[in-house]
Amino acid sequence: MKSLKKLIRHYLKNQFWIFIALLDYALAIFLLQSNAFFDHPPIKWVILSYLDDPLACAIIFGIATYTFTVAVWDLSWFRAGPIIAGLNVALWLLFAMAFLQHDQQAQSWGFYASVCFIVAASVLSYGATGGSQRIPEDLKNQLDRLKKEKNGGG
């Protein structure tokens, strides 16, 4: 029971990273199931054809697993939080640019590039600010003082 409460506390604290890990898994599965998405014509940049290979998908699975592990067990060793933020921003920006380049070659605007840019921006924003979990120390002290005054004042 104690470990379940701890798991729920970690989930509530790190639910953003858990969902980002699930998005990473979804991206890798999409690329595996899309039957060589970047190899369809028009292909002018050969580097794009490597982004949906099994090795690239394995790297995405690795990033997703690392993100999920850090989030579920609330690891903070070796600056794990900034590492997962950096890995995920790099991953989503890379694929946003790849989808954008693919769409530019096909002379259309696709849905995938937009989603990747939105995910990259949200990861960057949350990684930089910490969401609502990180409160500056002076603000935290003021909130604690106000709670004590409210409870003590009756």
- Asked if the model's pLDDT at residue 41 lies above 80, the reply is no
Long-range CB contacts (< 8 A, 24+ apart) of 115-123? 116/92, 117/92, 117/93, 119/20, 119/23, 119/92, 120/88, 120/89, 120/92, 120/93, 120/96, 123/20, 123/85, 123/88, 123/89, 123/92
The predicted pLDDT at position 38 comes to: 73
Please give the pLDDT value at position 27.
95
37 or 26, higher pLDDT: 26
100-124 pLDDT, tens per residue? 888 888 788 889 999 999 999 999 9
What pLDDT digit, counting tens, does each position of 78-96 carry? 888 899 999 999 999 999 9
pLDDT for the residue 132: 53
